[in-house]
Amino acid sequence: MRNTRSLLSAFFLLFGSASAFLPLRPMWGSTSSPHPDSSSFSLHLRAALTQLQMSKEDPPKIIISGAPASGKGTQCEIIKEKFGVVHLSTGDMLRAAVAAGTEVGKLAKDYMDNGKLVPDNVIIGIVKDRLAEPDCIEKGWLLDGFPRTAAQAEALEEAGVKADCFLFLNVPDSVLVERVVGRRTDPQTGKIYHMKFSPPEDETILQRLEQRSDDTEEKVMVRLEQFHANEDAVKGKYADISVAIDGNRAPSDVSAAVLAAIASSKAKV
């Protein structure tokens, strides 16, 4: 009974979510037909189960890359929800380590406060260990902010970690600087606002907003410099699975392109 129920929910889950971005045909054949066509139904059931099997055995493995404030965080929320993958943001992992005062946090703090990259040997081990955990293996993963250097990409390769696609969000530097300096976070909900483009309507929320210590004009210049110094080397490692996406438009337009790119990369796997 439990199996039947989970099979059915998997079926509806697939048609409910996958139909938004996969080229699946309507479930009952012709939309004008008042009754389900049983042969078409079983065909679709088989297709859905094959897809379920495939996704279980080979869950999505995605890398998202882009300059600071290129919109990776917003897109990651959407990808996570659509595909159920584990979101691994190295920036968030490092900030948590700093806040918890761990050895890694102590090593990383000064680099982060100055907008510099944390040394490869500090971050590589953490990411490799995390990717080997059962949830990442079972659900797939979304790497956000890693790899940021050629050495980090090589470390993944040596560990046998292979992604299905490498998404790159393109946004001009001038736009990025404006996005960064106005960016604020609500510490209670984690929601990100922008003082000019998307300020909170609620005065209480406005009062409690926090600014990341590296979200100043001076530090974003250093972060952009570091990003561009490594950009070509990292992109070069993923030329065969790379998809460039224009990130300088409405988040919903960006996410439509992002989801289409992931779906087509899975179709090739």
- Residues designated as active site: 72, 148, 183, 212, 223
Our CB check for ligand ADP shows the closer of 58 and 133 to be 133
b/e 186-199 (16+ beta carbons within 10 angstroms → b) = beeeeebbeeeeee
Which amino acid does the sequence have at 72? K
Our CB check for ligand ADP shows the closer of 123 and 263 to be 123
131 C-beta neighbours (distance < 10 Å), count: 18
Q: Collapse the DSSP code of 61 into the 3-class scheme (helix H, G, I; strand E, B; otherwise coil) and give the result.
A: strand
Closest approach, Cβ 138 to ligand ADP, in A, equals 24
Closest approach, Cβ 115 to ligand ADP, in A, equals 6
Our CB check for ligand ADP shows the closer of 14 and 94 to be 94
Closest approach, Cβ 183 to ligand ADP, in A, equals 9
Binding site for ligand ADP (CB under 6 A): 68-69, 90-91, 94, 111-112, 115-118, 123, 145-146, 148, 152, 214, 223
Going from the C-alpha of 268 to that of each of 78, 189, 194, 220, 243, the distances in angstroms are 22, 37, 38, 37, 14
Our CB check for ligand ADP shows the closer of 152 and 265 to be 152
Closest approach, Cβ 229 to ligand ADP, in A, equals 12
In 3-state terms, the chain is what percent helix, strand and coil (to 5)?
60, 10, 30
Nearest residue to ligand ADP, by Cβ distance, number only = 91
Which residues contact residue 192 at a Cβ distance below 8 angstroms, ignoring those fewer than 6 apart? 73, 74, 183, 184, 185, 186
Structure tokens at 119: 């040394």
- CB-neighbour burial class of residue 145 (10 A; exposed 0-12, middle 13-18, buried 19+): buried
